[in-house]
A and B are shown apart, each in its own frame.
Chain A
Amino acid sequence: MHLTQDLELFPEQSVTQLLFRDVKNCAELRKMAVEGQIAGALINPSMVLDPFQSLLAANKAVHLEKTGKMKTRSLYSEIIFSLSPTNNISEAFKRFGISDNDNAVLVVLVHNRGDILNMDDIVSKVDGQQIPADQISTLCEVAKIKKLYKLTPQEEKCGSVLDAVVCRMAAKDVV
């Protein structure tokens, strides 16, 4: 159901993703996240095409935290910021974080490898249906993603939309 990936660059850490649809309490969840009651990043699944995209964001955020170069104030907000193609932090939170009237949420957790996670804690907080995290493509809105990441029509000839998104996430700091 959930997806866990070890971070090869950070041998003690892993990333776990949980996906929920038909969520009725996004407003409450968002408030909990802002107050620091949820130890995870709450992401709007309509902006994520594939678990690889959120994994990359988590990897980059952990790297920036370890090198002391985060642009935001916490690891979880940095994960959300890393998804964005621009350097405007509030815009990133608005577009990639969850809003009060959303009805789905992707939860990304960073934890020690081998930890037996108490996911029930998170699952119990979400008033919605948990679905396999690798089904995120069923919740994404490709047209919205293409527009926000400013994909060009020629670019789609050399690769998938995911390729284009991944490149922009990686190149954000130098463009």
Chain B
Amino acid sequence: MAHMQPSENKPAVSQYLQEALLVKQGAEARVYRGRFLGKSAIIKERFPKLYRHPSLDEKLTRRRTAQEVRSILRCRKAGINAPVVYFVDYTTNCIFLEEITDSLTVREHIASAQASGQNVEALFGLADRIGQILAKMHDEDVVHGDLTTSNMLLVSDGDGRAGKLVLIDFGLSYISALPEDKGVDMYVLEKAFLSTHPNTEALFERLLKSYTASSKKAPAVIKKLDEVRLRGRKRSMVG
């Protein structure tokens, strides 16, 4: 019979998070904002999942935390913008990251561009940049795992214009050289893109073109993407 622990024995990070500001709660993790060593930081807490068997939960959570940190470092080493990792607590599976301020998600950017009546061509420059960055990431054999326009930030550069593109939320990422895995990564993005931003097929096509032009390994990945598109739900069963 488990005994109740007094709150003094709770891990330091858990007590700290009670005072921090909860920004978002997802299925996998809670995201907080707080002060850390004099800076503003984001804390991503992978909380225990009670619906999982405890030993499986522990292993899986720790593995996902480690993979996230590894992928971020790998991306940065290759010149891809991702938030700086300050500190990782493996007892509570919390990652303390740099807070990226003054930014807009690509999702918000596209939505506002469409709302203000701009035509799709105005966003082609952005599509080119995204394609290039994803090509670089896949060339490093990093598969993001959750590519959506909400996981890409546009940081304004001093003059209020859209500056650098930062990838975030590497929680489902892993290292893989397989074109199949990269193809699925692009498929996830395509599905998220087209469902979130109606009438942007030309934009995504432009992104893929930029991706293909920027990566030598792209043809194999695109081939797999085409194959994956033929699978899935509501597909015509004509062989």
B-binding residues in A (CB < 8 A): 5, 7-11, 52, 55-56, 59-60, 63, 66-67, 152, 154-155, 157-159, 163-164, 166-168, 170-171, 173-175
Contacts and interface: CB of A to CB of B under 8 A. Distances in A.
A99 B76 CA distance: 32
B82 A158 contact: yes
A56 B86 contact: yes
Contacts of A8: 16, 34-37
B192 interface: no
Nearest to B79: A154
Interface string B76-118: 1111111011111111000010100000000000000000000
Given A63-B89, A170-B86, A170-B87, A152 B69 contact: no
B90 A173 contact: yes
A158 B98 CA distance: 13
Nearest to A15: B37
A71 to B, nearest CB: 13
Q: How large is the interface on B (under 10, 10 to 19, 20 to 34, 35 or more residues)?
A: 20 to 34
Interface string B59-84: 00000001001101100111111101
Contacts of A168: 73
Contacts of A5: 37-38
A66 B85 CA distance: 21
Given A5-B37, A5-B38, A59-B37, A152 B72 contact: no
A58 to B, nearest CB: 9
B12 interface: yes
Interface string B29-46: 000001111110000000
